[in-house]
């Protein structure tokens, strides 16, 4: 197939853009297995412990507990348990917090994908309110598009 001179560059830009933002698979897990997990703060660890206590609870859209959570509601309440106020949406969280380089992610950081957030629990794991079928779960970390660090 022959592409017109104006169409070919557009297709190449689209491919490069998609490749640049395509997530890897499980590099956070690989990093943990290699023993390169960065230390975290006691406040961040306490937020992780709060989220861990919610595993097994239901998912509900707009939920902030105590019986069900959505993804940003779980993250918001986990950090709220240690006195850090966060907004209740993945986009608002991204707009309110300092972004951290992905290679510096540590326990307590918020992993971000378009329309979804999870709490990095350290050692290659996340805690997240995934969906109505799975609810709040602990699972191997899927590499995020971005990461954010609440103060503390």
Cite the active site residues. Answer: 71, 116, 128
Q: Three-class SS string for 11-68?
A: HHHHHHHHHHHCCCCCHHHHHHHCCCCCCCCHHHHHHHHHHHCCCCCEECCCCECCCE
* Helix, strand or coil, per DSSP, at residue 114: coil
Q: How many beta carbons lie within 10 A of that of residue 56, not counting itself?
A: 9
User: At CA 79, angle to CA 77 and CA 81, rounded to 5?
Assistant: 70
Distance CA 77, CA 86 (A): 8
Beta bridge partners of 116: 113
Distance CA 43, CA 108 (A): 8
Q: How is residue 2 written in tokens?
A: 């022959």
């Amino acid at each position: 197939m022959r592409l017109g001179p104006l169409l070919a560059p557009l297709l190449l830009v689209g491919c490069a853009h998609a490749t640049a933002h395509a997530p890897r698979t499980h590099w956070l897990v690989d990093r943990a297995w290699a023993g390169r997990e960065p230390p975290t703060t006691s406040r961040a660890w306490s937020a992780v412990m709060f989220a861990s206590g919610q595993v097994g609870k239901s998912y509900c859209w707009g939920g902030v507990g105590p019986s069900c959570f959505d993804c940003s509601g779980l993250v918001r309440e986990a950090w709220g348990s240690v006195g850090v106020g966060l907004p209740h949406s993945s986009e608002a969280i991204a707009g309110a917090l300092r972004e951290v380089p992905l290679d510096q992610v540590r326990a307590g950081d918020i992993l971000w994908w378009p329309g979804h957030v999870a709490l990095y629990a350290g050692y290659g794991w996340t805690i997240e309110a995934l969906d109505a079928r799975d609810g709040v779960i602990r699972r191997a970390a899927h590499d995020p598009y971005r990461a954010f660090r609440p103060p503390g």
